[in-house]
Amino acid sequence: MKKIILSSLLVLNMTSAFAQKFTWNQREFEAVNTKAEIVNMDGAQVLKVERDLIASPFDEKNIEASVDGPTYVKLTNVDMENGTIEVKMLSRIMENSPFPAARGFLGLAYRVDQENRNFEAIYLRPSNGRADDQLRRNHTVQYFSYPDYTFSRLRKEANGLYETYADIGLNEWIDVRIDFQDEKAVLYINNQKSPSFIVTKMLGTSKKGSIALWVEIGTIGYFKDLKVTKK
């Protein structure tokens, strides 16, 4: 009963402010345009994160301007230029999602500046991973750089260079590791020896900053076993 009460208090506190700080796994986080809750899943305490549609409204008629923004929980007191992020993540699509085409968007942001104005990110669309349509499969993994290089701009200008396929799905734990060094970022999924995705040249202007657990519209994201290594 005590764990349930603590989780409920956390939700109330975090929805009362634009960016509320909280502690999870002995680390301090800041919720930016999100709602978060510590929940019990299969005997483990995990972090549940959703986009806060009051702090960050969504306009289905203007999708490009409504997505790929600072919708995450961010580690405080972290300033990394290069390093490694490891985490397990699971996504579900909300019932009555405000965006019918939601794909279970969740991922990692890094080099996040203090004001949340610039960052790099790689995220997943798990429902695309096993779709019958090959084009959808090709859009399973996505890099973007906030604020200038959204998924839509990169898809138009870079001809698929910043997205790819991965064998993943909804409602399953996905092991994710991102190594980022100078201009390059490499993504490993489910402990594979070879990278699932390589970003040879990142496009952002932020050269160092914090890391964050990122979600997008229509998605309930769960995270556990976070490890951050600074190089």
- What DSSP string runs through 34-94? EEEEEEEETTEEEEEEEE-TTTS---GGGHHHHSSSS-EEEESS--BSSEEEEEEEEEEEP
CA atoms lying within 13 Å on the CB side of residue 50: 21
Quote the mean pLDDT of the chain.
Answer: 92
Local confidence band at 64 (pLDDT 50, 70, 90 cut-offs): confident
Give the tens place of pLDDT for each residue, 108-141. 999 999 999 999 999 999 999 999 999 999 999 9
Record the pTM. 0.91
| Sheet of 34-41, strands arranged across | 34-41, 44-51, 219-230, 83-93, 174-181, 184-189, 197-199
**pLDDT value at position 19?**
66
Task: Output phi, psi for 60, to 5 deg.
Answer: -65, -20
121 vs 112: CA distance, rounded Å: 9
* 14 vs 215 pLDDT, higher one: 215
SS3 of residue 191 by DSSP: coil
Give the span between the Cα atoms of 68 and 206, in whole angstroms.
Answer: 16
Instruction: Write the pLDDT tens digit of every residue in 165-189.
Output: 999 999 999 999 999 999 999 999 9
CA distance 51 to 33: 6
Q: 218's torsion region: left (phi>0), alpha (psi -120 to 50) or beta?
A: left
- The rounded distance, in Å, linking the Cα atoms of 80 and 75 is 11
**pLDDT interval class at 80 (50, 70, 90):** very high
Q: Set out the domains of the chain in order of their start, with CATH numbers.
A: 54-230 (2.60.120.560)
